[in-house]
Amino acid sequence: MKVAVVGATGLVGSEILTVLAERNFPVTELIPVASEKSKGKEIEFKGKKYKIVTPAEAIALKPQVALFSAGGDTSTEFAPQYAEAGIMVVDNSSAWRMDPSKKLVVPEVNGDVLTPEDKIIANPNCSTIQMVVVLKPLHEKYKIKRVVVSTYQSVTGTGVKAVTQLMDERAGKEGEKAYPYQIDLNVIPHIDVFQENGYTKEEMKMIKETNKIMGDDSIRVTATTVRIPVMGGHSESVNIEFENDFDVTEVRALLAQQEGVIVVDDPANLKYPMPKDAHGKDEVLVGRIRRDESQDNTLNLWVVADNLRKGAATNAVQIAELLNKKGLLS
């Protein structure tokens, strides 16, 4: 199978290559794709070297599937061209997520929605992915009314420039800035651009994407997204109000049975999820599972995942695996 990775030199693109290798996706020929300035450079994948080509050149090489992680502008321009050429596209940008004609997929949650007609499939926002994997079994059992989520997001979600800013600040060096403020020894309650309603675009993504993935517009969601000076993963404090009451022991059991989730919840021995523990893992870690004593039928959770893996690369590869399993990558 010919597989194109569009944006192969970026943080997420590099992680996609790692995940493809680790999960033994049936790649017979890799087509690494990047901008004109990277054309001709070589990338190594599973012991073989492949030359980088431009997005336009890759179409002529006829990959069966293209995993896009090169930003919204590239996706908007080239994803339809790839689809038109019969190439299945899994897109990691926000370009197609809220397009009503495109599926927004987390395989463990709504993988069943994929059909042969879906030529461009959207990969959700990283912070949404890790939350909905945890919400799914709880919604099925108790019916979710409302979710209040606050995120604590890694600088890796912004990209290489942000990682460099953090490391420069930590070393006391001047350098290029990804953020309007210092990030080391600081917290910035601002991810993406502010909207007219006072929320940021990242917060609105979580709200709208959750409804679309869960297939239920009745779930009310409010979010506050925050950048913190860590690498390795995003953390979320999630407060969930249900229509029906629950038993905390049963909640733990449901989450332990959910595909893609690991329960780390032993406060007596100081066991709870942290970004450093999620780093390099494909699973979503959940802990601090407890009843909200201020309100009926309400639960508190702490959810952590590696934002470059399950939040981006792994989810994209899992979608490709699902397409392959359904026989849609001919």
Q: Please give the positions annotated as active site.
A: 126, 234
Task: Please tell me the distance from the alpha carbon of residue 22 to that of residue 17, in angstroms, as a whole number.
Answer: 9
23 annotated ligand-binding residue:
no
252 annotated ligand-binding residue:
no
153 annotated ligand-binding residue:
yes
211 annotated ligand-binding residue:
no
Task: Please tell me the distance from the alpha carbon of residue 163 to that of residue 312, in angstroms, as a whole number.
Answer: 17
The residue to which tokens 């297939």 are assigned = 215
At 206, give phi and psi (nearest 5°).
-60, -40
307 annotated ligand-binding residue:
yes
**Secondary structure of the chain in HEC code, one letter for each residue:** CEEEEECCCCHHHHHHHHHHHHCCCCCCEEEEECCHHHCCCEEEECCEEEECECHHHHHHCCCCEEEECCCHHHHHHHHHHHHHCCCEEEECCCCCCCCCCCEECCHHHHHHHCCCCCCEEECCCHHHHHHHHHHHHHHHHHCEEEEEEEEEECHHHCCHHHHHHHHHHHHCCCCCCCCCCCCCCCCECCCCCECCCCCEHHHHHHHHHHHHHHCCCCCEEEEEEEECCCCCCEEEEEEEEECCCCCHHHHHHHHHHCCCEEECCEHHHCECCCHHHHCCCCCEEEEEEEECCCCCCEEEEEEEECCCHHHHHHHHHHHHHHHHHCCCCC
224 annotated ligand-binding residue:
no
37 annotated ligand-binding residue:
yes
9 annotated ligand-binding residue:
yes
Q: How far is CA 228 from CA 161, 236, 249, 275, in A?
A: 15, 12, 32, 11
11 annotated ligand-binding residue:
yes
239 annotated ligand-binding residue:
no
Number of residues assigned to the chain? 330
Q: Can you say which residues are annotated as belonging to the binding site for substrate?
A: 153, 227
Q: Can you say which residues are annotated as belonging to the binding site for NADP(+)?
A: 9-12, 37-38, 307
Q: Can you say which residues are annotated as belonging to the binding site for phosphate?
A: 97
Q: Can you say which residues are annotated as belonging to the binding site?
A: 9-12, 37-38, 97, 153, 227, 307
